[in-house]
Structure 1
Amino acid sequence: MRFMIIVPGGPETESGTPGTEEQFADMQTYQDEMLRAGVHVDGQGLHPTSKGALVSWENDEWVVTDGPFAESKEIIAGFSIIEVSSREEAIEWVKRWPRSAAPNPGQALELRQIYSPEDFDAMLSPELRRREEQLREAAARQAAQG
């Protein structure tokens, strides 16, 4: 089972400051621990919304709105993806999140399970299932290249 740990943003992350040396060191220790346990898949921080864009479909055309996103109530500052055997194990890994990089009071790390191909078995035709497998294989090859 794969899970995404979603890290909320706030004034600090929106300022464009990626973090303190202590936060980097603590996160590297945490990621190293996850790597040694074999559960770490990926993890990245995100640039502030001022460097992003919202792309929406309106009146039969795409509309691009440059950031920052003042109306966004929920800003994502980063994420980690872990692969574990259960939801309970995922929660235990979230509880080990470094306190120096923990969300501000009133915010929380969000844990969401990622769909796996098997979740769609009942609804996919054999042709769509084969195409899904081909897409995943191509993505894995591309990731391995670099």
Structure 2
Amino acid sequence: MKYMLVMRATDEGYASMGEVDFDKMLEMVGQFNDEMIRAGVLLAAEGLDDPADGVVVDFSSEPPIVTDGPYGETKELFGGFYILNVASKEEAIEWAKRAPLAGPGFKTEIRRVSTIDEFPQDNEWIKKERAWREATGQL
């Protein structure tokens, strides 16, 4: 099963990262990533750019409104993610507990990633997606 670990942090969490030497942070994260690679569970891992450089597309009106970052009433920001291929939610939880960037202001949300096999296989759009995934080596 695939699980996404959504790495979140508050302003307090991000501020505490500023106190950590960047090379030390890369070492901590690199060791964690290497551990998951050696265990054969890591499928993807990406960090996100500064939220001040992002935008939000708000669909609460027509046409949608596009707003530059930083965001207004944000209590937690999505800072990056891992996608793991593990046997269970419990295994995903155990990996999340070992994440190196932890402490006050940090949280990890764990969500199962649905597979294409869970959707109606006779649907024309699912057929097109399956063909694309097969052509790109994803299946």
TM range (shorter): 0.7 to 0.9
- Unaligned ranges ≥5, structure 1: none
Instruction: Determine whether 1:120 maps to 2:122.
Output: no
- RMSD over equivalenced CA pairs, Å: 2.6
Tell me the residue number matched to 2:4. 4
Identity %: 34
Deviation at 1:25, TM superposition (A): 0.3
Does the C-alpha gap of structure 1 residues 9 and 95 become closer, same or farther in structure 2, counting only changes over 3 Å?
closer
Tell me the residue number matched to 1:28. 30
Tell me the residue number matched to 1:87. 89
- Unaligned ranges ≥5, structure 2: none
Deviation at 1:93, TM superposition (A): 1.3
Does the C-alpha gap of structure 1 residues 75 and 37 become closer, same or farther in structure 2, counting only changes over 3 Å?
same
TM-score normalised over the length of structure 1? 0.78
Distance in 2 between residues matched to 1:36 and 1:108, nearest whole Å:
24
Distance in 2 between residues matched to 1:64 and 1:126, nearest whole Å:
33
Paired residue secondary structure (1:32): helix
2:54 alignment partner, one of 52, 55, 72? 52
Deviation at 1:89, TM superposition (A): 1.4
The code of the aligned residue for 1:47 comes to D
TM-score normalised over the length of structure 2? 0.81
Paired residue secondary structure (1:108): strand
1:63 alignment partner, one of 44, 62, 65? 65
